């Protein structure tokens, strides 16, 4: 059995499509705001592998609730990893490009210095450090700009806004790789199988879609994909007021994921067509 923390999130939803061997737990069975419940359920179910796809994902609310975000994104993954180490099973944990400072123009490598610029990024980094110290057989998989037909994400937000707007101001100076949740789910399962067989592959890896684009460019592709004629006006991050500071550079270097696990970066164009078809 593959035990998944998270049930309603984008990646967790997709993981449940991969067969009856996947058991996804919601808050009623494992509440990451009370990490000890995670330890108890792992020991009770004794799975072959654990995938942590649960997180406090609201970047804006994390600024106001950093303590809670740190428990869910930081302390809980540490307890999960410790428990996996105790019973000798591997852990795949999903993290974020937000652990970096988000400057420059080059894609971030897994070993680059982490300098999170907001509460969400700080909470995710606490989780990473906890896993590194746990003694577990692990892979931390950092990803970015997750898109799917489920949950709250940029694609669904754009479609919603297009119902009442002919022109939209969209940030054009933040660059990243949109990453389909279905591809992340598939990558997690491939990685889980391989680190079961070869613990030496443990480490931090990156996985994002290609090519890299701006939010404004992605929005244009979304509207084109559903045949809507919306005028997208690219604006600077400084012109778009948010509580949390957002990275300008979310590009991820995925070369070690390709060389170690044989997992190529997905072309998000093709996956976006499937997402839009499902939503429409």
Output the CA–CA distances (angstroms, integers) from residue 168 to 8, 59, 171, 180, 216, in the order listed.
29, 22, 10, 23, 9
Active-site hit among 56, 120, 205, 207: 120
Give one word for 56, left, alpha or beta, with left for phi > 0 and alpha for psi -120 to 50: beta
Burial class of residue 239 (count of CB atoms within 10 Å of its CB; 0-12, 13-18, 19+): exposed
Where are any strands of DSSP class E within 26-144? Answer: 49-52, 91-96, 138-143
Distance, CA of 180 to CA of 10 (rounded, Å)? 9
**CA–CA gap between residue 5 and residue 27 (Å, rounded):** 9
Give the single-character DSSP code of 134: T
Closest CA to 174 of 266, 61, 251: 251
84 with 139: CB under 8 angstroms? no
Give kind and range of the element (H or E) at residue 125: helix 119-132
205 is catalytic: no
User: DSSP label at 275?
Assistant: H
Which residues belong to the active site?
120
């Amino acid at each position: 059995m593959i035990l998944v923390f998270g049930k309603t999130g984008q990646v967790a939803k997709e993981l449940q499509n991969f067969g009856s061997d996947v058991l996804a737990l919601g808050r009623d069975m494992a509440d990451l705001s009370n990490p000890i419940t995670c330890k108890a359920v792992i020991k009770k179910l004794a799975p072959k592998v654990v995938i942590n796809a649960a997180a406090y994902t609201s970047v804006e609310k994390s600024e106001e609730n950093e303590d809670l975000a740190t428990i869910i994104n930081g302390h809980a993954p540490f307890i999960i990893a410790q428990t996996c180490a105790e019973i000798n099973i591997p852990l795949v944990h999903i993290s974020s490009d937000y652990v970096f400072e988000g400057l420059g123009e080059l894609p971030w490598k897994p070993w680059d210095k982490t300098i999170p610029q907001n509460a969400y990024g700080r909470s995710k980094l606490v989780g990473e450090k906890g896993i590194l110290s746990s003694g577990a057989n692990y892979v931390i998989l950092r990803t970015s700009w997750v898109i799917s037909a489920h949950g709250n994400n940029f694609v669904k937000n754009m479609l919603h806004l297009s119902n009442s707007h002919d022109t939209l101001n969209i940030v054009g100076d933040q660059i990243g790789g949109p990453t389909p949740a279905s591809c992340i789910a598939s990558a997690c399962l491939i990685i889980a199988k391989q680190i079961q067989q070869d613990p030496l592959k443990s480490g931090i890896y990156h996985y994002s879609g290609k090519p890299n684009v701006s939010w404004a460019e992605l929005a244009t592709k979304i509207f084109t994909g559903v045949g809507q004629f919306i005028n997208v006006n690219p604006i600077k991050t400084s012109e778009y007021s948010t509580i949390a500071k957002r990275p300008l550079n979310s590009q991820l270097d995925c070369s070690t994921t390709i060389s170690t696990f044989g997992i190529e970066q997905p072309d998000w164009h093709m996956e976006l067509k499937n997402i839009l078809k499902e939503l429409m």
